[in-house]
Amino acid sequence: MLGLMQDQPLLISQLLEFADRHHRDGEIVSRRVEGDIHRYTYKDLAVRARKVANALDAMKLQFSDRVATLAWNGYRHLELYYGVSGSGRVLHTLNPRLHPDQVVWIANHAEDQVLCFDMTFLPIVQAVHARCPTIKHFIALCDADKLPQDTGIPNLTSYEDWIGGASSDYVWPRFDENSASSMCYTSGTTGNPKAALYSHRSSTLHAYAAALPDVMCLSARDSVLPVVPMFHVNAWGIPYSALMVGCKLVFPGPALDGKSVYELMESEGVTFAAGVPTVWQMLLGHMKPAGLRFSSLTRTVIGGSACPPAMINAFRDDYGVDVLHAWGMTEMSPLGTLCTLKNKHLTLREDLQMAIRLKQGRAIFGVDMKIVDENGQELPWDGKAFGDVLVKGPWIVASYFKGEGGDPLVKDSNGIGWFPTGDVATIDEDGYLQITDRSKDVIKSGGEWISSIDIENIAVAHPAVAMAACIGVKHPKWDERPIVAVVKKPGAEVTRDELIAFYEGKTAKWQIPDDVVFVEAIPLGATGKMLKTKLREQLKDYKLPNA
């Protein structure tokens, strides 16, 4: 017997309609590519998103056709989020940090019909347009009078011209909530890029979960700054959760340097911000020498890669800002865990609380997770056993677009599929996940596993070390032994032996790296993560000193 509740699909357009009705004068503030600050309201957003929908109709775009963006965080990008998905098309956020050849491959694979881009990325579009035959329309996200001539790009229109003539009357269509709403390609280090294809249902459920008190804790009283780009897994879902709760939204545009981000936070009374560690490093790097303080920021979520403990401490102790560790990935929409304390932890000593805060956190309801050994057997949640992390839930991929990579799921004894994340972690008695490594980066030494991240964290705690990457090198007796590649801070000095000595007492003897290799830079991928595959390639002729 079915319940007798109203049959209302979960659609992204409802978030817009809700904000339009209930938070019509809620502010959206954007730093534009031109450098100036743009302000308007949720009501204005709704009007212009409806124009986008009509403009797409006028282009005869069909249901599920892909509309690509190469854009910073800003109001026009947000209008595309809602105009494209709300009208039944699929928003495809391209990562502008990819090599043009990758952009071409991805745009062709996605069969993008339209490409909307910030002027920053004109050179990329000029480099790729001739090789993207499916793209029929190019839209420059700029005012009509800012559109450059002679770009060589056919059918180039300014965004304001494009939507300027469109009507703002539009009734958002109602359709199956499982319909595709947006897509995001993973920056796979091996094989072709693969796309997660999100649905209206998954995006809405994720929006509810992301706003919960134990996750981002978003309310109508917040002023929210997503530093994490809207081309990185939908800015962790903030563009959806924000409209659900009606908070003020502040977009940094292209200016992600410490000074610009700091000024925007202060001028817009930002209470909550989210981003990857590198951005916060720049922010603190700007604030510390100038003796600056936050006047409104109370908390920040840090994810994308493990956050150095020193940074969590700096935010808390020096600035009174709660740093919440998060973990997830493109295939998870992206949020999987967030690190907040439980009732029983509130009376713990500060150092014991900090030990918990350093973990990646507890699963959000909707996500179930487990760790398994090499045979797929579930491992205990004791904070010690570590294994491959598998997840399931309504906002986790079942497969990739066009079936790339086959069926990624691993079935359990009940026939339920779990997604293997490629991360290796421990989970403690209270359900706190701690990532110890990527499956492919873990170092297997004498039958034991060594976490490359642990080794890196110790290195970066040394005052002379700017960045560190630990990799395993073949060893005749131990199978693999760790070494650490280090970038020194400008003007700072440290020797190999000093750094090796620095590990004493900080980790088990057998986990101390066998060698230190000083390098100018560590290769980074398009999302700012270290590319250890490339590093291994660079060091392929390296020989262990003691092997």
Q: Are strands 137-140 and 272-275 parallel, antiparallel or unpaired?
A: unpaired
Tokens at residue 426, please? 């421990």
Rg for the chain (alpha carbons), in Å?
24
Mark residue 98 as left, alpha or beta (left: phi above 0; alpha: psi -120 to 50; beta: remaining).
beta
Smallest gap, in angstroms, from Cβ of residue 64 to a copy of itself?
4
Which three-class secondary structure state does DSSP give residue 273?
strand
Q: Which is nearer to a copy of itself, 401 or 503 (CB)?
A: 401
Q: Are strands 432-438 and 299-302 parallel, antiparallel or unpaired?
A: unpaired
Smallest gap, in angstroms, from Cβ of residue 111 to a copy of itself?
11
Active-site annotation holder among 444, 474, 506, 543: 444
449 counts as catalytic: yes
Closest CA to 113 of 90, 79, 130, 85: 90
331 counts as catalytic: yes
Q: Which is nearer to a copy of itself, 223 or 300 (CB)?
A: 223
Cα–Cα–Cα angle for 81, 275, 405, rounded to 5 degrees: 65
Smallest gap, in angstroms, from Cβ of residue 208 to a copy of itself?
4
Residue 403: CB atoms within 10 Å: 9
Q: Which is nearer to a copy of itself, 25 or 101 (CB)?
A: 25
Smallest gap, in angstroms, from Cβ of residue 333 to a copy of itself?
8
Q: H/E/C letters for each residue in 327-371?
A: EECHHHCCEEEECCCCHHHCCCCHHHHHHHHCCCEEECCCCEEEE
Smallest gap, in angstroms, from Cβ of residue 365 to a copy of itself?
4
Q: Which is nearer to a copy of itself, 110 or 358 (CB)?
A: 110
Residues 6+ apart with CB under 8 A from 501: none
Active-site annotation holder among 186, 300, 340, 421: 186
Which residue in the block uniquely carries the two structure tokens 């309609």?
A: 17
Amino acid letter, residue 292: L
Closest CA to 235 of 208, 262, 207: 207
Q: Which is nearer to a copy of itself, 190 or 343 (CB)?
A: 343
Q: Which is nearer to a copy of itself, 241 or 452 (CB)?
A: 241
Distances (CA, A) of 340 to 172, 316, 329, 431: 37, 14, 19, 11
Q: Which is nearer to a copy of itself, 140 or 363 (CB)?
A: 363
Phi and psi torsions of 401, nearest 5°: -55, 135
Active-site annotation holder among 43, 449, 507, 534: 449
Smallest gap, in angstroms, from Cβ of residue 231 to a copy of itself?
19
Distance of CA 166 to the CA centre of its chain: 33
Smallest gap, in angstroms, from Cβ of residue 5 to a copy of itself?
4
Active-site annotation holder among 79, 160, 177, 331: 331
Catalytic residue numbers? 186, 331, 444, 449
